[in-house]
Structure 1
Amino acid sequence: MVEEEKTFQKLDIPTAEILEDVAEFLKREGDISAEEGVKRLDMLYKKYKKVEQQLLAQKLRLNAKLPELEESLKVIEVLEIKEKNKEPFSLTYMVSDHAYAKARVNRSDKVLLWLGANVMAEYSLEKARRILETNYDQGMTYY
């Protein structure tokens, strides 16, 4: 429960409360009218719905990326084996949606990862694995 409260605080979401005494709630809010109380509760409800929609959209995005992350982790595993054995290898890779190219790889100690927003960065295999595993684990927590 404490962890949920921290999450709500980070998202700037007030914790929902059960109103057992409406008169006490109206008084606590500054002696407001019932109509004003309903308006405030309606505003809170809209905030909760907006956050729910954002979290659902985030979950869908992460779920769509999970298969891609799994494949990337498999590729890292193969690259680690090839690098450990110091053996060159050939591969076919996707250049664009319908275009592929062949390449011969002599060293496989580094990889390039897309970070998003048209940004790519070079990492060691170990660091790339950690990044991908972290992203995969985060995706699985929402799954």
Structure 2
Amino acid sequence: MSEILKPKKTNPRGIPEAPFIDKVETIIKNPDQDFENVIQSFQERLQQYKYMELSKQQQLADLNIKIPDIEKNLDIINYIKEKKAEEDDEEDEDNEDGKVIVTNYELNDTLYNKASIDVENLNSVYLWLGAEVMLEYPLDEAVELLNDRLKKNNDQLAIIKEDLEFLKENITTMEVNTARLYNWDVERRKKEKVTA
């Protein structure tokens, strides 16, 4: 009964491919004994796929928050580096405009504050690494770290999207299989009533 659910193929992350039942009679030899076990096995596999899909959707939602944050941080650091490069090129004592960046930053969801950033003396930034850890990085190292994280998160995003597509196909296959099993059992019972 559960032999039919043993994976013949898996995706690269080991998620088993759902079998497609062409003829129910090939997997249910003794309907009175086998049907309940087979239908239960198929429903369990379907629930496993749905649980995996839910987990992957949560991972996708997390990445859809992380990636824009990393991109925003990269943009800010690159802007600061551009301003510093302009400062080095100009060397004009009379030009005070480019030395300070005035910006608003978020303190809370609805609370912002104004900040003045002295670009000339800014050589490092602080980055949240997670688990309540913040470290100071020189600008170039911060860009390198954020680019590395951005690449890893984009790679992970592609993998999750691929897994979600694979899971959707297999959920559909298992739902079709389950419906075919139920319909087959209904027909079988009708025939038994007619012959009795």
Question: Same fold per TM (> 0.5)?
Answer: yes
Sequence identity (%): 23
Which secondary structure does the structure 2 equivalent of 1:16 belong to?
A: coil
**Aligned residue for 1:16?**
18
Structure 1 residue 136, shift from structure 2 partner: 5.7
Q: Distance in 2 between matches of 1:83 and 1:68?
A: 23
In the alignment of these two chains, the number of paired residues is 131
Q: Distance in 2 between matches of 1:53 and 1:25?
A: 30
Query: Given that residues 84 and 119 in structure 2 are in contact (C-alpha distance below 8 angstroms), is that contact kept between their aligned partners in structure 1?
Result: no
Q: Distance in 2 between matches of 1:6 and 1:140?
A: 15
Q: Which runs of 5+ in 1 are unaligned?
A: none
**Aligned residue for 2:12?**
6
Instruction: Write the deviation string for residues 74-125 of structure 1: whole angstroms up to 9, x where unpaired.
Output: 1122122234345543343536212425242434443222222322233313
Which secondary structure does the structure 2 equivalent of 1:19 belong to?
A: coil
> Which aligned runs of 4 or more in structure 1 are off by greater than 6 angstroms?
none
Residue 121 (str. 1) matches residue 132 (str. 2): no
Residue 100 (str. 1) matches residue 101 (str. 2): no
- Counterpart AA for 2:49: Y
Change (3 A) 1:16 1:23: same
Task: Tell me which structure has the larger Cα radius of gyration.
Answer: 2
Q: Distance in 2 between matches of 1:65 and 1:110?
A: 22
Query: Given that residues 103 and 114 in structure 2 are in contact (C-alpha distance below 8 angstroms), is that contact kept between their aligned partners in structure 1?
Result: yes
